[in-house]
Every structure is written in structure tokens, then in C-alpha cells.
Amino acid sequence: MISGSFTAYNGANAPRLARLNADGTLDQTFTVEGSSTNAGIQDTIIQPDGKILISGSFTGFNGIVRNRVARPQRRRNARHGV
């Protein structure tokens, strides 16, 4: 899992949060609901239940006020089973 102020990874859309495969390529099956944060992510935690918690300099996530902490929801992809 990588996070930061980036909006792309190796030319692919990856707005500030992405998961990489073991070979360093972008995991195309990993997506989160919505549009991302309005500023950089400084810390990412994967909780024991698999949910993701992010914190950073942002004040909004998916157009909703979130004061520097948010929990992105993974988008389920039936084709890939994730």
C-alpha cells in the first residue's frame, strides 16, 4: 500500500492511495469508493479487519468534510472477487 500527494503511478490513475503487486506494478483490482482526498495523505493503516484508515493534511474526502482522518471504503469488483 502506498499513499501520498501523487495522482498517478506509472501513468495510471492513482489518486493519493494505491496498492502495488509484489513486482512493483499497480494492482488494478484495488480501488476505493469516491474521488479521494483534497490534499496529501501522510499515514495509512490497514486494520486487522482489512479496513483502511488514512490521515494527512486533507480536510475533505469524497467531497465531505473530513478533518485529516478518513476511512476509505474499498470498491468491490465482482470480476476479480475483491
Instruction: Tell me the three-class secondary structure of 18-57, residue by residue.
Output: ECECCCCCECCCCCECCCCECCCEEEEEECCCCCEEEEEC
pLDDT score recorded for residue 58? 96
Give the per-residue pLDDT at 35. 76
Question: Hey, where are the domains in the chain?
Answer: 2-70
pTM reported for the whole predicted model: 0.82
pLDDT, averaged per 10 consecutive residues of the chain (82 residues), comes to: 94 93 95 87 95 96 93 67 40
